[in-house]
Amino acid sequence: MEKKTRREFIRTASIGTAVSLSAFSYSRVAGANDRIIIGMIGCGGRSHDLFKQISFYKEKENVEIVAVCDPWKEKREQMAKMVKDVYGKDPEKYESYQDLLSKAKVDAVVIASADHVHCLHLEASAKAKKHAYCEKPLAKNMKELISAYDAVKENKVIVQIGTQLRSYPSFTGAREAYKSGILGTVARVEQCRNDSRPYWYLRIRKDLKAEDVNWKEFTSGVTDKPFDSVFCSGWYGYREFSDGTVPGWGSHFIDLVHYITGAQFPLTAVCSGGTYTWKDEYNFSCPDHIQVLWTYPEGFMVSYSTNCGNGAGNSFKIFGNQGLMDLQDWHNPILLPDGAYKKTDALKEKVEIEPIERPDHILDWLKCMRNGNEPNANIDAGYQHSVACIMAMMAYDTGKRQIYDHSKREIREG
């Protein structure tokens, strides 16, 4: 527990007199002592974790959460209670993100809404001059991705994407080990992330009533299907709202590939899968088994797969001709000589990769709002993982290889 606390929370103390800002938000927080006022857009399970992480720094980093927003009344009220319990007063409560952005006096927002509205909410927040922490996956298609990306760049707001693994000291250590060249020629990176059942089953709420949800606000135009309790509560499993495990879990993986190797965009993607195990009355449209292969201009192939019919067989490895890097234990990656064709004195036996301490993901975002620096998972990192995931799902839907042209910001068949 002590090691985890040390790695997860890098404590700093730089708090002075609290000065609440009402109209800052244009480019960055003015000074080290100014209070950062935050609103929560989306109040589900992920937002609870982010709330706790932000509140951990409420004194040391001088932050306050004053507004909450969710079209689901129960979630909105739960988050409002959490805010009052920690900050001592009732927050402003909204059903619509538009009302929060136009009415609440906030400097920044946390976007932890459903996948299909991440870009919608981020673009609106950027245009309202609000900094943002935006959950992954960032986008479901290139049109919304480009629009949100350009809004962030044009309005010069600080954005941290929720691929928090790149802020782990362990993975930063892995990046430095990779850069040393100890693996030799790397030609393959792969992850198998399996489970016995898709995670969207855990969200099903058959008792959810239409009067408890602003359905129009939740759907935001992506479907004209009427409200249904399972369709709403189990949204992770329906393609209208989410694309399943590739962007859901695979976005973390491909973001780490980019972070550790320095690669940015795939050249090509192929993908296959389907629903093979969980065929039932819910008719979830996200596949429970999927396999993606990306190729990169750096000269390696990346493989991601999920089997939601059996939880065995998880792995995360980077293969080089001088050895491999095993990253399955997120906090304790190792180097191994296993399978090497070209032997090296630098890797004769197992080597534990030394972590490189750094601010955790939330602290990094808070500090960047003060100093104007780019956060560790900035909008460019979000754009990059989104392109990879969008390519994969387009390949899955069409059965054809997809090619990315970064100069045109286009994905095409080929």
Residue among 88, 75, 289, 68 at smallest CA distance from 192: 289
Q: What is the CATH number of the domain that holds 235?
A: 3.30.360.10
Model pLDDT, residue 255:
98
Together in a domain, 57 and 189: no
Residues of the chain short of pLDDT 50, as ranges, are 1-28, 30
Together in a domain, 128 and 174: no
Together in a domain, 119 and 98: yes
Together in a domain, 228 and 277: yes
The answer to whether the beta carbons of residues 26 and 51 sit under 8 Å apart is: no
Together in a domain, 246 and 110: no
Model pLDDT, residue 387:
98
Q: What is the CATH number of the domain that holds 134?
A: 3.40.50.720
Residue 90 lies in domain: 2-166+365-378
| 312/34 Cα distance (integer angstroms) | 49
Together in a domain, 234 and 89: no
* Pairing, β 334-336 against β 351-352: antiparallel
User: Residue 244: left if φ>0, alpha if ψ -120 to 50, beta else—which one?
Assistant: left
């209208």: which residue's tokens? 240
Together in a domain, 161 and 245: no
Together in a domain, 290 and 142: no
Residue among 62, 63, 132 at smallest CA distance from 97: 132
Together in a domain, 154 and 179: no
Together in a domain, 159 and 195: no
Model pLDDT, residue 246:
98
Model pLDDT, residue 33:
64
Q: What is the 3-state secondary structure (H, E, C) of the chain?
A: CHHHHHHHCCCCCCCCCCEECCCCCCCCCCCCCEEEEEEEECCCHHHHHHHHHHHHCCCCCCEEEEEEECCEHHHHHHHHHHHHHHHCCCCEEECCHHHHHHHCCCCEEEECCCHHHHHHHHHHHHHCCCEEEECCCCCCCHHHHHHHHHHHHHHCCCEEECCHHHHCHHHHHHHHHHHCCCCCCEEEEEEECCCCCCHHHHHCCCCCCHHHECHHHHHCCCCCCCCCHHHHHCHHHCCCCCCCHHHHCHHHHHHHHHHHHCCCCCCEEEEEEECCCCCCCCCCCCCCEEEEEEEECCCEEEEEEEECCCCCCCEEEEEECCEEEECCCCCCCEEECCCCCCCCCCCCCCEECCCCCCCCHHHHHHHHHHHCCCCCCCHHHHHHHHHHHHHHHHHHHHCCCEEEECCCCEEEEC
pTM: 0.92
Taking each helix axis as running N to C, give the angle between helix 118-127 and helix 142-155, from 0 to 180 degrees, rounded to the nearest 10: 20
Together in a domain, 79 and 66: yes
Based on the structure, what is the number of domains in the chain?
A: 2
Model pLDDT, residue 14:
29
Model pLDDT, residue 407:
97
| 109/75 Cα distance (integer angstroms) | 17
Together in a domain, 90 and 60: yes
Model pLDDT, residue 22:
36
